[in-house]
Chains A and B, each alone.
Chain A
Amino acid sequence: MTRGRSGAGPVIHSGRTTPRLMAHAVAALAPIALASTWRFGTAASVLFGVAIATAMLCDAVCDRRNANDGSAVVIGMIVACLMPATAPWWLAAAGSAIAVLLGKHALGGLGRNLFNPAALARVLLMGLAPAAFFSPLWTIDGRTAATPLAKELGASPVTVVDLLLGLDSVTLGDAMPVAVLVGGLVLIALRTIDWQVPLCYLGAISLLALVLPPGERIVGHAPWLAGNPMAHLLNGSTLFCAFFMLTDPVTAPFTRPGRLVFCTLAAAYTMVVRYYTPYPDGVAFAVLLANASVPFIDRKMIWGSVGRGASDELPAVDSQYLAGDEGGQG
């Protein structure tokens, strides 16, 4: 039977609802989960499973009303993607718990959290549990690392095909950069994310790789990384960050121009971390640092334009008359 609808406004909808967008993200992350399982074996599936289950549990505890929107599954999958393949299961659980409890709910809940929850979890865990995070594949001094971004002096340069297939990858998310590209293109095709954001980030990374003078660690241990944009694009979590982290609407600026400023900033932070700090990857740091500027970017870019709209030219006529003057749909 028919019912009156309490709310005013349109009764039809575009269909692009939060659960739908989250489902798109899960679908786009699925190839990455499969690729990491193919590359690292069942250990990868266990990490994905633990991360997703922990995220869903924590979300349901904190906010039962919105727990079914699928955002917890997405956070869990992104947390897992940022885990090293060698991580123990509890590291994935701790990552999801930090992301959901602290990153999402303690900082305001879905839509209000300033920082990308998964990036926050990764950075905190790198600080709190470095042993679980880095050994045995990674070391922060670059000496025993197997990732190309930290590759030792004298190691043979990697080809683009090697990079695309992730033969030197460390985290689940970059198990196979091809899978990340596929997932990212799916999101663009579904119009879930703006293509401008990854393009701007990846473009800025390439440019900075060419123009920035490399720091001591690069010059000393991995000179082939200096001035080599392709190595920076296809390595570490660059692609993953471009398609799955910077495109999180909650922690990005509200306006499209603001988002381009935001991802340029993130690219700059990424390259600074890679070139001048002991950390070989740096995207999680870069995302957090860029997140911190979002309120400032929004304030400048939204209210600047809106303020101009509301000048002295305000209705001299009662707007009832305005609306009453055949302003209908024509």
Chain B
Amino acid sequence: MAAMKIPGYKHCADSPIQQLLPPERVRLPIAEMLPAVDVGDRVEAGTVVARSAPDAEWQRRAHSPLTGRVVAISEPASEEGPTREVVIEGRAPTETSARPHLDAATLSADRILTCARDAGVVGMSGAQFPTHVKLRPGVPIDCVIVNGSESEPFITCDHRVLAEHRHEVECGMHLAMRAVGATRGEITTGRRGHPFGQERFVISDVLGRDVPDGRLPKDVGVVVINVQTARALHHAVCDREPLLERVITVDGSAVASPGNYTVPIGTEVGHALTQCGVRLDEAAVLVAGGPMMGESAGLETPIGPGTGGVLALGHGQISDLLDRPCVRCGECMESCPFGLPVVLLLEEPNEALLQCIECGVCQFVCAAQRPLIDGIRSVKAELRAGRRQG
């Protein structure tokens, strides 16, 4: 019996991208950036509302997607709580002002990187790492992979972007290739299911190169960017447009109109769900992102640049964590992409656990319905603490 394949649940794969009625309020998580506006300030769509400190290693920018007023700048309640947010009320611009269109063929690598930085382009598959930093790897790169293998169940937004805006994605890929000096570019669409859309598996599938534990794709001469990142790079460079919106998938049995929708960055989960006709009494859990690696969300949780979807899953679609005794069925090890004996590593920690990417497959198959990811996170934290001391 082969390891279990995670089902796709790609109900929205054929739903064209639609525009949601824009929200009248957005919450922009600004994490370690410094606010560039004060409460009460008027902002235009595209105004920089926060940027990294000048001496920060990785420069970030956050732009207002709405024209309106800054109504609050929240401080984090606790270290584990939500990060600092700039809350803006206003309305989305009806028409973007026409800007001079740049001819990508004549641009220098530096110009591309500057445009990416100023537009606040970040990785849009979850981790939100600044793209201009990634495109300045400092080592020779021969291949840029645009990763369209969104393997999370339910999520189809990248698939739709690729189907409807492929030329923009290809333009973004060529810009990335020019920026890193790569001669080869690949756009991938995976069929292997979760977690094989993760970049290390994509690199292995496409190029046959293995990224060693603890190394980055650039160490094997590859840069991987997400489909929507490539598209944002195209807009940033060719249209000089900052990153203001993204395409998400809204799905789940409690959603009346599931589909793929363009939303401004910072749109609240509740707004997106309401526009899609959510029946909150039928929703057992709300998720920002995919059902495997996404975070459970509240109605006010903002949709960030890396949020691929908003799910309102019904009771029949989710599973409780019951934490029954392990029956040693071995499925966690069998299904783990790294072959880690997960439950045994939780009892007897071993540094091998540090290669775990928390894809969640072990917890998905665990017959005892144990909270393995929680356990993995705490054991990994202990292992790292031990290594720092040792």
Interface residues of A (CB under 8 A from B): 1-18, 20-21, 66, 69, 109-112, 191, 194-195, 249-250, 252-256, 302-303, 305-307, 309-310, 313-317, 319, 321-330
What residues of B have a CB within 8 angstroms of the CB of A325 in the complex?
A: 123, 127, 129, 134, 216-217
B54 interface contact, C-beta 8 A? no
A–B complex contacts, Cβ < 8 Å, 20 sampled: A4-B285, A5-B285, A7-B374, A9-B374, A10-B293, A12-B364, A16-B365, A18-B369, A66-B324, A66-B325, A112-B325, A253-B330, A315-B354, A316-B215, A319-B354, A326-B129, A327-B198, A327-B199, A329-B126, A330-B150
Chain A proximity mask over B347-390: 1 for CB below 8 Å, otherwise 0: 00011101101101101111111011110010000001000000
Contact indicator A317/B283 (Cβ below 8 Å) = no
B344 interface contact, C-beta 8 A? yes
Contact indicator B199/A330 (Cβ below 8 Å) = yes
What residues of B have a CB within 8 angstroms of the CB of A2 in the complex?
A: 280, 283-286, 312
Q: Name A's interface SS.
A: loop
- What CA separation (Å) do A326 and B308 show in the bound complex? 13
Which listed residue (B134, B152, B319, B350) contacts A13, Cβ 8 A? B319
Also in contact, A326 and B325, with CB within 8 A (given A12-B291, A12-B313): no
- What CA separation (Å) do A327 and B357 show in the bound complex? 9
Q: Which of B45-53, B96-104, B223-231 contacts the other chain?
A: B223-231
B333 interface contact, C-beta 8 A? yes
B56 interface contact, C-beta 8 A? no
Segment 287-307 of B: residues with Cβ below 8 Å from A? 287, 289-296, 298, 306
Contact indicator B194/A329 (Cβ below 8 Å) = yes
Q: Closest approach, in angstroms, between the C-beta of A186 and any C-beta of chain B?
A: 15
Also in contact, A317 and B214, with CB within 8 A (given A11-B318, A18-B368): yes
Contact indicator B214/A319 (Cβ below 8 Å) = yes
Contact indicator A10/B292 (Cβ below 8 Å) = yes
B327 interface contact, C-beta 8 A? yes
Q: Closest approach, in angstroms, between the C-beta of B314 and any C-beta of chain A?
A: 10
Count of interface residues, chain B, beta-carbon cutoff 8 Å: 99
Contacts beyond the supplied A11-B291, A12-B317, A326-B226: 14 A-B pairs with Cβ under 8 Å: A2-B286, A3-B285, A5-B318, A7-B321, A8-B377, A9-B363, A14-B4, A17-B319, A249-B330, A254-B328, A255-B330, A309-B340, A313-B212, A325-B123
Q: Closest residue of chain B to A329, judged by CB?
A: B152
Interface residues of B (CB under 8 A from A): 1, 4, 123, 125-129, 134, 147-153, 155, 158, 190, 194-195, 197-200, 202, 212-217, 224-226, 229, 280-281, 283-287, 289-296, 298, 306, 308, 312-313, 317-319, 321-322, 324-331, 333-334, 338-341, 344-345, 350-352, 354-355, 357-358, 360-361, 363-369, 371-374, 377, 384
- What CA separation (Å) do A327 and B201 show in the bound complex? 11
Contact indicator A254/B341 (Cβ below 8 Å) = yes
Which listed residue (B298, B312, B326, B363) contacts A10, Cβ 8 A? B363
What residues of A have a CB within 8 angstroms of the CB of B360 in the complex?
A: 9-10
Q: Closest approach, in angstroms, between the C-beta of A246 and any C-beta of chain B?
A: 14
- What CA separation (Å) do A324 and B158 show in the bound complex? 19
Q: Closest approach, in angstroms, between the C-beta of A32 and any C-beta of chain B?
A: 22
Q: Closest residue of chain B to A14, judged by CB?
A: B365
Contact indicator B292/A330 (Cβ below 8 Å) = no
- What CA separation (Å) do A326 and B355 show in the bound complex? 16
Q: Closest residue of chain B to A249, judged by CB?
A: B329
Contact indicator A322/B291 (Cβ below 8 Å) = no
What residues of A have a CB within 8 angstroms of the CB of B317 in the complex?
A: 12
Also in contact, A8 and B373, with CB within 8 A (given A2-B284, A327-B127, A329-B308): yes
- What CA separation (Å) do A330 and B212 show in the bound complex? 19
Q: Closest approach, in angstroms, between the C-beta of B152 and any C-beta of chain A?
A: 4
Contact indicator A4/B368 (Cβ below 8 Å) = no
Which listed residue (A5, A194, A310, A329) contacts B125, Cβ 8 A? A329
Also in contact, A314 and B351, with CB within 8 A (given A256-B334, A306-B345, A330-B148): yes
- What CA separation (Å) do A327 and B195 show in the bound complex? 11
